[in-house]
Amino acid sequence: MQLVESGGGLVQPGGSLRLSCEGSGFTFRTYWMNWVRQAPGQGLEWVANIKEDGSETHYVDSVKGRFTVSRDNTKNSLSLQMNSLRAEDTAVYFCARDYARTLGNGRHYYMDVWGKGTTVTVSS
Amino acid sequence: DIEMTQSPSSLSASVGDRVTITCRASESIDNYLSWFQQRAGKAPKLLIFAASRLQSGVPSRFSGSGSGTDFTLTISSLQPEDFATYYCQQIYSGPRTFGQGTKVEIK
């Protein structure tokens, strides 16, 4: 099982960038997928996720209206379109698979497979 | 949003030590909590899910406990490869917030 991110780079404030994440070794279309980021020297921040069929998405407040998560299950691909980028969006961006498991008290989701990350730098 | 607070922020320990890291949620999250290990420059690795369930392939020296608002990650006998930063994450509701991390350093 593997996730590989791509698309990172240097972009000016206010610019746009599109990240991709390609999955292999598992049935991509049957999993929720996530984006998580880590600013330099900082902790982890969950950014967004998307349902198996793409019909439902969720975002952290700081990126709502600027970032859009999408997927193409025919290509085992996850994307993050990032617009109106700010300096504070500078980070390593990871994609991660959500594994779902039903336990005694309900359905649990946990991020069990991660990519190595792609670096986004927003600077003039 | 649910806030997750870890303590301590960092600790120094020796190989063979028992290490305990605490994570507190700002409201009850039942047992919807995961623990991750992140070595420098690497992606996070899942250790524990549902507060106390050991992920496949993770050494048994790692254990998790707790429910509601208070949780603990314990490493029973610290090994050289365990020096890393550890994060808790809630998956109960809203944005899947992480704790700020606990860095485990060599004493």
Q: Is the Cα dihedral B23, B28, B30, B33 positive or negative?
A: negative
Each residue's pLDDT tens digit, B85-101 = 999 999 999 999 999 99
Q: Which of A69, A111, A112 to mutate to test the interface with B (most CBs of B within 10 A)?
A: A111
Question: Rounded to 10 degrees, what is the CA torsion of A85, A90, A94, A95?
Answer: -10
- Position B101 scores a pLDDT of 98
pLDDT digits 0-9 by tens, A22-33: 999 999 999 999
Q: Residue A2: which pLDDT band, with cuts at 50, 70 and 90? A: very high
pLDDT at A106 over 90: no
**Strand, helix or coil for residue B81:** helix
Contact criterion met (CB below 8 Å) for A22 and A1: no
For B10-61, the pLDDT digits (tens) are 999 999 999 999 999 999 999 999 999 999 999 999 999 999 999 999 999 9
Query: What pLDDT, on the 0 to 100 scale, is given for residue B14?
Result: 96
Cβ atoms A70, A95 nearer than 8 A = no
Identify from A3, A36, A61, A110 which residue to disrupt to test chain B contact, counting B C-beta atoms within 10 A and taking the largest count. Answer: A110
CA torsion angle for B9, B10, B11, B12 (degrees, to 10)? -170
Minimum-distance CB partner of A46 among B32, B49, B95: B95
